[in-house]
Amino acid sequence: MNTNQERQHLHNNGYVPIEELAKHLAVSISTVRGWVRNKHIPENTYIRVVNTYRFNIDAVVDALSADKREPVISDSDEDI
């Protein structure tokens, strides 16, 4: 498989480059990189080869949605 065929194969199987994920989520590429670095985007939602990432859009969206539903635990002493 040549490089173009590999890209098409990954895209057909739901994996897209970081630029396409950022566009889909309407955020910058830097934001996506930060989310990966801070584990907001779990490792099981993307493939990394050296410094190249390919993301499964549906899995990323599900993970980010689940992250929003997680309860926020406050260190504050205030009762709510």
pLDDT tens digit sequence for 8-41 = 555 566 899 999 999 999 999 999 999 999 999 9
Which of 54, 50, 46, 42 has the alpha carbon at shortest distance from 8?
54
Does 74 have pLDDT greater than 60? no
Q: Is the overall model pTM greater than 0.85, yes or no? A: no
**Residue burial 15-37, b: 16+ Cβ < 10 Å; e: rest:** bbbbeebbeebeeeeeebeebbe
Q: In sequence order, which residues have a C-beta less than 8 Å from that of residue 41 and are 6 or more positions away?
A: 32, 35, 55, 60, 63, 64
Q: At the topology level of CATH, where does 3-69 sit?
A: Arc Repressor Mutant, subunit A (1.10.10)
Does the pLDDT of residue 77 top 80, yes or no?
no
pLDDT at 14: 81
What confidence score (pLDDT) does residue 12 get? 62
The per-residue pLDDT for 27 is 96
